[in-house]
Amino acid sequence: DIVVFNYPVNDKGRIGFKMNYVYVKRVVALPGDTISFVHSRPVNSHYEGVLGLAEAQRGLEETPDSLIPWYAMRNILVETAVLGYTIKEIPPVYVPRRGDILRMDDWRKAEIYRRAIEWETGRALAWDGERGQCLSDGRPLPYYRFRKNYYFVCGDMAYGSKDSRYWGFVPEEYIVGVVDRVVESHHPVTGRERRERRGLNLTNNE
């Protein structure tokens, strides 16, 4: 589904609600799914079909890395390039589901789930490299049970779309609704109104 949602990251880089700051993206992973990107293509653990526009994904894969700005290429899931992932290749990432327990046994998990866990607990999350353990307000956090459902969303523009590949998960309560039909459409290059797209059903209900 294509959904409308409130952009989940505030000016401090944390999950925080911003009134009337909405995005429209395609859901590529639901709570409890695992999402990865292989050769620029999203791969969902529970879905075998194509997610998004295959043509755009092929275009991204064929674009040399040198032509993509470094921040757009490597600042994946978090604000820096610390994970070492790229927009073309992202290892499997679990999308949190309410009630599921995650073992916090790796510094990458602390980075990937920091925003969600800090939002839910109101406590600072950190990784103690010397002891090899995750800390919540200085206390060991070997496991974490998620309190909320989250979604992973992507724009159909495989490159140039500000989406979950860069800032992570969308909390369920930030989703306003599902886009049902096209009301008005304009060509992205010429600006010409595409009347043939009026009323186009964007769900699988018909």
Domains and CATH numbers, the chain: 2-97+149-197 (2.10.109.10), 101-145 (no CATH)
| Tokens 């409890």 -> residue | 32
Contact 52, 28 (CB under 8 A): yes
Residue 205: pLDDT above 70? no
Residue type, 163: D
**Among 5-14, 46-55, 197-206, which is the least confidently predicted range?**
197-206
Residue 189 banded pLDDT, cuts 50, 70, 90: confident
CA dist 113 and 119 (Å) reads: 10
Dihedral over alpha carbons 108, 110, 114, 120 (to 10 degrees): 140
For residue 200, the model assigns a pLDDT of: 64
Q: Which residues contact 52 (CB under 8 A, 6 or more apart)?
A: 26, 28, 42, 154, 156, 158
- As a whole number, the mean pLDDT across the chain is 92
The lowest-confidence range among 10-14, 86-90, 131-135 is 10-14
